[in-house]
Chains A and B, each alone.
Chain A
């Protein structure tokens, strides 16, 4: 089973949203209403399922605004700086995130999948 399918099953169980369509583009917080405690449970489930020690801050992009402020203060290019801080994300995805920040929490299912793929390939 691929990572996306696994994550979909885990999310459906944690968020009690069986039957609802989850795609790579689905927002975890904006659309699925995931709360901090749900994300903790997701991280624990990923931990167990994929046998990896995830960093919750990186996985859920919690430090995004902090990094952005640092890039601004240090006069660095935001896209390049964030891509460095989140090696699991492509430069294109980082640019997409930056353009999307006004709409609320940017975390999508595909970001979680990318993190796991990246971690497993390290």
Chain B
């Protein structure tokens, strides 16, 4: 297996979430320089609190999916010159389709779909120049199987998956590939609170009888960034212990 990453740079979008931080730590150990984006001071502090003690090399940069100027500024600083993009960014929006506030709906899709399309375009064009680049989009099993109230979250994830899929099929010949990972239940991030409240009930639905750990998802993402996984392009992989295969 080719798992050599020395000297590579990765842009980690939504870099202050638990899973992104676990991934960043694994990246640093593997020789990748992660550049993590944060959208507020709390996010920046969380990143530094977790990564500074590790003593490795990493960077942080402000990026808010609701603020197009923040993308311009990120690219102007040369942060687009990267080998990998791992995208965890996703705003929360729980609400019934028939009850949602319209203004919030427009704002949500602008940030989570349109902004992402602009970001993909701009970073992909930088990668076209170098004829190399790998994107991993972190989606969710909820993109395919939703619960009531998750319609907007799922719609944004599905739309984003489609953008990544097309990017990979359009630019594969130029050395730029994409893959989407759909993890199932993880005891981290927004899943943590849900599993604390509904853990036993959720566990019954998972054939392997356990939830995913942050580290195994991070290791899978590292594998997806490796040369050995380059054949996975313009596709979605589900990693859920069999959850969504069940009736």
By a beta-carbon cutoff of 8 Å, the part of chain A in contact with chain B is 36-37, 40-41, 43-45, 47-48
**Of B89-97, B146-154, B167-175, B207-215, which binds chain A?**
B167-175
**Smallest CB–CB gap between B35 and chain A, Å?**
21
Tell me, in angstroms, the Cα distance from A40 to B125 when the chains sit together.
8
Q: Can you give 17 A-B contacts (C-beta < 8 A)?
A: A36-B170, A37-B170, A37-B171, A37-B173, A37-B174, A40-B125, A40-B128, A40-B170, A41-B128, A41-B174, A43-B125, A44-B125, A44-B128, A44-B129, A45-B129, A47-B125, A48-B129
| In the complex, per-residue mask of B159-178: 1 if CB is within 8 Å of any chain A CB, else 0 | 00000000000110110000
Nearest B-chain residue to A40, judged by Cβ: B128
Name the B residues within 8 Å of A36 (CB-CB).
Answer: 170
Which size bracket describes the interface of B in this complex?
Answer: under 10
Nearest B-chain residue to A36, judged by Cβ: B170
Tell me, in angstroms, the Cα distance from A43 to B128 when the chains sit together.
10
Tell me, in angstroms, the Cα distance from A26 to B49 when the chains sit together.
59
**Smallest CB–CB gap between B41 and chain A, Å?**
31
Tell me, in angstroms, the Cα distance from A100 to B23 when the chains sit together.
56
Tell me, in angstroms, the Cα distance from A44 to B171 when the chains sit together.
13
Name the B residues within 8 Å of A44 (CB-CB).
Answer: 125, 128-129
**Smallest CB–CB gap between B85 and chain A, Å?**
17
**Smallest CB–CB gap between A30 and chain B, Å?**
22
Name the B residues within 8 Å of A40 (CB-CB).
Answer: 125, 128, 170
**Smallest CB–CB gap between A72 and chain B, Å?**
31
Nearest A-chain residue to B172, judged by Cβ: A37
**Smallest CB–CB gap between B129 and chain A, Å?**
6
Name the B residues within 8 Å of A41 (CB-CB).
Answer: 128, 174
**Smallest CB–CB gap between A99 and chain B, Å?**
33
Tell me, in angstroms, the Cα distance from A28 to B174 when the chains sit together.
19
Besides A37-B171, A44-B129, 15 other A-B contacts (C-beta < 8 A): A36-B170, A37-B170, A37-B173, A37-B174, A40-B125, A40-B128, A40-B170, A41-B128, A41-B174, A43-B125, A44-B125, A44-B128, A45-B129, A47-B125, A48-B129
**Smallest CB–CB gap between A88 and chain B, Å?**
21
**Smallest CB–CB gap between B111 and chain A, Å?**
23
Tell me, in angstroms, the Cα distance from A41 to B129 when the chains sit together.
8
Name the A residues within 8 Å of B129 (CB-CB).
Answer: 44-45, 48
Residues from 89 to 135 in B contacting A, C-beta threshold 8 Å: 125, 128-129
**Smallest CB–CB gap between A16 and chain B, Å?**
13
Tell me, in angstroms, the Cα distance from A122 to B31 when the chains sit together.
45
Tell me, in angstroms, the Cα distance from A45 to B174 when the chains sit together.
14
Tell me, in angstroms, the Cα distance from A99 to B174 when the chains sit together.
35
Residues from 45 to 72 in B contacting A, C-beta threshold 8 Å: none
